Each structure stands twice: as C-alpha cells, then as structure tokens.
Amino acid sequence: MMRGFPQVTGLTLILVVVIATAFAPSEPVRGLPFQPPGMGHLLGTDDVGHDVLAEVQRGGRVSLIVGLAVGLSTIVLGSVIGGLAGIVQRLDAPLMGMVDFFLVIPRLPLVILVSLYLRPGVTNVILLLSLLGWPSVARTIRPLVRGIAQAEFVLAARSWGAGPLYLLRRHVLPQCRGVLLAQSVFEARYGVMAEAGLGFLGLEEPTTKSWGMMMAYAFGHPATFVSPVWKWTVIPPALALVALTLGLGLVGLGLETRLDPRLGPSPTSHPGKLLEGDPV
Amino acid sequence: MKRYMALVARSLALLVTLTVVNFFLIHLVPGGPLEVISRARVESGAAPLSDAERAMFCRYYGLDRPLGAQLLAYVAQLAHGDLGYSTFFRRPSSEIIAEYYKRTTWLVATGLLVAVCTGLPLGIVSAARRGKWLDSVLLAVEMILHATPPFLFATVALIVFAVKLQWFPLAGSEAIADPGSVGLADMLRHLALPALSLGVWESSTVYYLVRNAMVDILGEDYIRTARAKGLGNHEILIRHALPALLPMLLARFAVLFGAAIGGAFFAEQVFSYPGLGQLSLIAFQNYDYLLLRGIFLVLTASILMSYLAADLWLIRFDAGVGDGA
C-alpha cells in the first residue's frame, strides 16, 4: 500500500456517503413496485414501490448518526476515564478494574440480546454501543497518558497547582489526539456495522428505515429469490454499507499507521493492530 | 497461584453482575409478565385475565414479593439448574436451550475451523512476504472482507449456492421429510453454508491476528539466529515461528469465539438454522421472557468461561498478562 493511499480512498468513500445522504429527500419517493432501474427511478423501486436510491440516501442518515455519536461518545468517555486512570494514581486501580470488567463483556451478542428486551430506537442503540465501546479507548489511552504525565512540562504545570482535569485537557490529551482519533474511527465503524446488524435482524424501530432494515425487507420478500429484483433491492444498501465501513476502516488504518510511532519504518508493517479485537 | 485466583474471582464477579443485570432487564420489558399472559389468552380466544386470576398469577410467580426476595428466589432456582418454564414450548427452558445450544456449538466450531484454515495460512504467507505485492493484495482483500457485515456473507452464500446452484439446502438443520434419520451427512449438508459464511467473516480477523503476530515474531533475534545458521525459509516458519505463534493464537480464540457467537446470530437468521440466535428471536416474538433470560445467562456464561480459559492459558506462558495493561 502506498503511503497516504488508504486515507484518501477511505475519506473519498465516506465523503460520497455523506454527500449522498445530505441530499436525501425527506419523504420516500413513491412509484410502482419492483420497477427495474431506469430513467424514472435510477436504482429502481422496492416491494412497496419506494425509490431505492432515495431509501438508500435516507437510510444513510441512521448509519451516519450512529457512527458519529458512537465515535464521539466513546472518545469522550474513554479519554476522560482512561486519562484520569493514567494521571491520578489513586483512581488507577478502580477505574481500570471497571474497564477490565466492561472489556470482557461480549459485545455483539449482548447488544443483540439487550435489544431483544428493549426493542431499541436509534438512541438506545447509540447508548448501548457507547456504554460497551469506551473501555477499549480507555485502555489504549491510559499507558500513553502515563508516559506523558512524566514529562517535564506536565510536572511544571503540576508544580504551580494544575488539577488533573486541567492537565488532561490542556497538556496531556492534545498529545494523544492521533491515537484517540484512530480509535474512535474504529469505534464508529463498529457502531455502523452493529446498527446495520440489528436492523437486519429486525430489532429496530420500523419507522426509521436503515440499510440493515432495507436488506431485511428485501430478503423477507419471496421475489428476491426467484427474479432479478435482488440486483436493485439488495445490492445498493449492501454496497452503501460496505462503502461506509470500508471507508471508516481505511481512514482508521491510515491514522493508526501514521500516528503510532511503534508501528515501524514501513507503513505496511502493522496495519490493523486495532482491528484485531474488533468484532467482539 | 494468586493470579489464577484473581482471574477466577474476576470472572465470577462478572458472572454474578451479569446475572443480576439479566434479572433486572426482564423488569424493563414493556407490559410486564401478567400483560404477556393476558395477551396470549386473548390471542387464543379466551377472555383476558380477571382480577382474581391476576392476583393468583402474581402469587404463583412471586411477583407480589419485594424485588430483593425475587432476586434471591431466582438465584436459588439457578443453583438447582432450573432456568424457568418456557411458556411458548411448554417445557423447562433448560431442556430447550440445551437442544439449541448443541446446534449453535456445531455451527460456531465449524465456522472457526473454516476461519482458521483460511486465515492462518494467508496470514503467515502475508507476513513472510511483508511489503511485497502478494502481501499488499492480501491486505486489501482482507480489508474489504473485514468491512463486510457478517449477514452479507450469509445472504450471498444463500443466493449463490442454495438458490442458484441448489447445491445445498435453503434452510434448517436437518431434512424436513425425515428428521433425525439421515444422520451425519445430512447434518453437515445443512451446516455447510451457515458455517462457511460465518467462517469467511471470521477469517479476516484471524488473518490480521496471525499476520501482525507473525511480523513481530519474524523480527525476533532468534529468527535471525536461525537464518544465520543457514536454515531455509520454510524451516524457520514451521520450526521456529509457528510454535511461538500458536499459544497466542489459542488464547485469542476465546475472543474469536465471542465474536463468532454474535456472527452466528446472523448466519442462523439467514439460513433459519435453529440455534440459540433463532431461539432468542422465537422467545422474543412470543413474549417468552423466561426463556430469553435463560438464553442470555447461558450465552454470557459460556463466553466468560472461554475468556477465563484463555487468560489462564496465557498466564501459563506468562505473556505479560496481568501487568495492568
């Protein structure tokens, strides 16, 4: 892989999704059911006659919101908790104990099972994924914070009475920006994927149509298996989803190799270190 | 020994917490248990519950007692291996869960086998050819596989191999006409597609694990020594690098197992394979919350057990576990 290539490809993919979503119509565009792609409907229509292109655009909003919210909340929670554990000696053991605790909880099965109990809307999905996602950020950030907290400029700030939260915000966390960013991009990617999965299993509110749900509806219809309609009811949402997760993955990967000095001289030495534990 | 005990204690604490959370989750269910019974009766054509009947059910299930007492009763019940009575199947939950659990285990085990058989060699090849074109191609392909959600593999496999080519059955875990009599061959035929799609999805994770670990190992001094001795590439990979890789890989298996159970939910859904994922959906759709609670407990407990086993195994090799990292 060339240097910079993953980021550029990834950013392009994400941008395409974001722009397409930004121009989404606010209401489903109606037509006759199962129209093949053509002039009237660029990507055809689905079983209830909704324009597939418009539905893909509208579905993108759910994915983007979930990705953004999960990425943001895990980065905030993870950096504050991991940072405090790294900088305040007394808090280290209890906070990291909590992190270990959350880390061993198997995420995907748990999210699915809890969704079964609660039948979540988008808010519940975000809450659940954030609650289970921050520990991996905290775990990555703590050793970095520990290292930086020993630096002389931090000691200097401490010596004139800076408190831990001020130190974190002003001196320590800005140094870990890159790693935090990479990690939160991976968390966002995980969120997008898990949300699509829940939609596919039919565990989301039926009123907000997402890509996972579009595929679930498509596969719930017998015509998908006996006629060529799957070409335009299944492939577009699937491609959109893969484009977004791939884009996020590539951007995360690029950030990771660029910003982590341990990853060695060659840019291809260790890509995907953060991907290893990902799907759990 | 102290570290072993600490790990076991942590797993137990986690299990207890999850059990308690699980107990309270059921109280968040919309409508509550009596509403569920009432609805089931209306659907079967009978009159809704009268107040007297409500009071009776309340007493029968202990719902009139304080939450703490209910929790204690639940724990006592669990201690007897009793997961409650399934209102949908009209049998003890534990029997049903055991039946479905067996099939999920088959699915997950076969899927992991596929994942390792593909991910392990590819990862080793990729690490051995680091920076060359083969490595780049593999990295790119695996990246795309890794970005693909698990249910897509399943649906593609379903359309190609079951609908178009008709090599494998569409759904289920055994032939409908003659359940249970065709034996192993039939079971494997039904298992093939779900396990394959699960395995392909997991294999990218195995690939990344193996490649990165292998890159580390190949940079070690003893590998250079082996090379200096004049050993060939194959000899170094198989005699020196692989033995160093395997313990770590085995430990990460627990993590893979947890992911595979989640992925299995999707494979089961697409192929209507009657495993725990399908069972939990059945339980959910029929308001069978006691069954759902049992599934939750059994699943989390088995995943925790696999994590514990992995941690204990890693301590044996002292791979830097427990230093607070």
Is 50 exceeded by the pLDDT of residue A30? yes
Is 70 exceeded by the pLDDT of residue B318? no
Bigger pLDDT: A50 vs B113? B113
Mutation target vs B (from A17, A117, A224, A270; most B CBs, 10 A cutoff): A117
* Residues B214, B126: Cα–Cα separation, whole Å: 9
Q: In degrees rounded to 5, what are phi and psi of residue A37? A: -55, 140
Residue B98 is which amino acid? A
Taking the CA of residue A211 and the nearest CA in chain B, the distance in Å comes to 11
The verdict on a CB contact (< 8 Å) between A225 and B205 is no
Q: Do residues A254 and A6 lie in contact, with contact meaning Cβ atoms separated by under 8 Å?
A: yes
- Helix A177-200 to helix A122-149 angle, to the nearest 10 degrees? 160
pLDDT at A72: 92
**CA distances from residue A186 to A262, B123, B205 in whole angstroms, order as listed:** 19, 21, 14
Spell out which residues of chain B touch residue A280, defining contact as CB-CB under 8 Å: 255, 258-259, 262
The verdict on a CB contact (< 8 Å) between A105 and B299 is no
- Note whether A268 contacts B: Cβ–Cβ < 8 A: yes
Tell the residue number behind the tokens 């000691």, with chain if given.
A155
- In three-state secondary structure terms, B92 is strand
Tell me the whole-structure pTM to 2 decimals: 0.80
Q: How confident is the model at residue A265 (pLDDT cuts 50, 70, 90)?
A: very low
Taking the CA of residue B146 and the nearest CA in chain A, the distance in Å comes to 8
DSSP state, B91?
E
Share above pLDDT 70 across residues of chain A, in percent, rounded to a whole number: 87
* Residues A77, A85: Cα–Cα separation, whole Å: 12
Spell out which residues of chain B touch residue A275, defining contact as CB-CB under 8 Å: 146, 205, 208
Nearest CA among A279, A197, A234 for reference residue B200: A279
Average pLDDT over residues B164-178: 66
Bigger pLDDT: A99 vs A44? A99
* Residues B267, B114: Cα–Cα separation, whole Å: 14
pLDDT tens profile A198-218: 888 877 777 778 888 888 888
Kindly state the greatest CA–CA separation across chain A. 75
Average pLDDT over residues B309-319: 72
* Residues B271, B256: Cα–Cα separation, whole Å: 21
For chains A and B, count residue pairs whose Cβ atoms are closer than 8 Å.
Answer: 153
Tell the residue number behind the tokens 């088959």, with chain if given.
B106
Spell out which residues of chain A touch residue B32, defining contact as CB-CB under 8 Å: none
**Lowest-pLDDT range of A225-229, B68-72, B108-112, B216-220:** A225-229
- Note whether A112 contacts B: Cβ–Cβ < 8 A: yes
Name the token pair of B71.
């929790």
Spell out which residues of chain B touch residue A268, defining contact as CB-CB under 8 Å: 130-131, 135-136, 139
CA-nearest residue to B206 within chain A is A276
Share above pLDDT 90 across residues of chain B, in percent, rounded to a whole number: 2
Cross-strand bridge partners of residue B86: B91
* Residues B278, B164: Cα–Cα separation, whole Å: 25
pLDDT at A259: 66
The verdict on a CB contact (< 8 Å) between A101 and B18 is no
* Residues B300, A46: Cα–Cα separation, whole Å: 38
Taking the CA of residue A104 and the nearest CA in chain B, the distance in Å comes to 7
Q: Do residues A55 and A238 lie in contact, with contact meaning Cβ atoms separated by under 8 Å?
A: no
Taking the CA of residue A160 and the nearest CA in chain B, the distance in Å comes to 30
- Note whether A199 contacts B: Cβ–Cβ < 8 A: no
Nearest CA among B36, B83, B44 for reference residue B63: B36
Spell out which residues of chain A touch residue B212, defining contact as CB-CB under 8 Å: 270, 272-273, 276
**CA distances from residue B35 to A145, B38, B66, B90 in whole angstroms, order as listed:** 52, 5, 19, 18
Cross-strand bridge partners of residue B85: B92
Bigger pLDDT: A194 vs B41? A194
Q: In degrees rounded to 5, what are phi and psi of residue A51? A: -65, 125
pLDDT at A264: 38
Tell the residue number behind the tokens 């939260």, with chain if given.
A165
